[in-house]
Structure formats: structure tokens, C-alpha cells
Amino acid sequence: TMVLVCPWLVKKLLDRLARSRTFSSLAAVEEGLPSRTHFQLFIGLLIVQIFSSLAFVVFVAAQAEIDGSQALYLVAAWNAAWLGGFLAIPVPMGLGVRESLLALLLSPLMPTALGAAIALLYRLFTVGVEMILLVLATLLDLRGDRSST
């Protein structure tokens, strides 16, 4: 998404990364990443998935009536749909794949049309949040550039 929306920011980030000492140690593919780095990346992804799953449950609860026993199913459905979209390598960002799987997995809990609407609305919500974070990161980056000159 960032490459399409702000290619200049991606180029700037990649240029900074190329100049950093961290990049030179990570660029050595034959050496591989240290196991501590693997663990930190795994924990980071796990935390993001937990928050994303909880946000999905709250989002669905705001749109449809669900009870507490269905929350775990919603978490599993969201993660299965996310994984399906992630594994759909030829499809950019799993666009359409994640939503289709999510609508299918929500069909036991609600009408299919409502499940599809929730899947599409949640995609729009997540893209909106990513855009807000991108704007904030850009503003903070620009502010940092001014203070360093």
C-alpha cells in the first residue's frame, strides 16, 4: 500500500535503511538473522494479530448481535481469513480473498450478506487506520527532518 500511495516515503525509508549499520548486518543473507531477532519478530507479529483479532470481534459486535461464546470463533475466522489472504501470493494484499473467506466463515453466525458487508467494512476500516498511521508517521518524519537541520 505504501509503495502505491507514497513511493517517495518508501524510497526515503529504504535509503535510510541502506545507510544504517543494522542493514549491513541484516543484509548478510548467508549468515541469517540471529535467533533473538526471529523471536522478536514473531512476538511482534503475535501482538499485532492479537490486537487485530480483538478489534475484529469488537467491530463485529458493533454491527451484529453476538454472544461471548462466539468471540473465539470470530477470532479464529479472522485469523483463518487473514492467513488465506496472506497465502494468496499473486493477489496484492489478499484483496478479495480475505473478504471472501471471512464472509464464508461468518455465514454460520449471520446471513451471508451481512457477513460480506462486515468483511468489506472491516477491510475499509483497516486501510483507513493504516492511512492515518502513514500520515502520522510522515508528519513525525518531516518534523524530525526539520529538527536535525
End-to-end Cα distance, the chain: 30
Asked if residue 57 lies in contact with residue 74, where contact means CB atoms within 8 angstroms, the answer is yes
Q: Residue 135 above 50 pLDDT?
A: yes
Residue percentage of the chain with pLDDT more than 70: 72
**45 vs 28, higher pLDDT:** 45
Q: Count the neighbouring beta carbons within 10 Å of the beta carbon of residue 113.
A: 10
Question: In terms of C-beta density within 10 A (0-12 exposed, 13-18 middle, 19 or more buried), how is residue 75 classed?
Answer: middle
3-state helix, strand, coil in the chain (%, to 5): 80, 0, 20
Residue 25 pLDDT grade (very low, low, confident, very high; cuts 50, 70, 90): very low
Question: CA torsion 89→92→93→97, rounded to 10°?
Answer: -70
Nearest to 77 by CA among 97, 94, 53: 53
Q: Which residues 6+ apart lie within 8 Å of 114 measured at CB?
A: 63, 64, 106
Q: How do residues 35-46 score in pLDDT, each as one tens digit?
A: 777 777 788 888
* Cβ contacts of 135 within 8 Å, gap of 6 or more: none
What's residue 9's pLDDT? 63
Positive or negative: CA dihedral 49, 50, 51, 54: positive
Q: Is-above-0.85 flag for pTM?
A: no
| Identity of the residue numbered 94 | G
The pLDDT tens digits of the residues spanning 136-147 come to 888 887 766 555
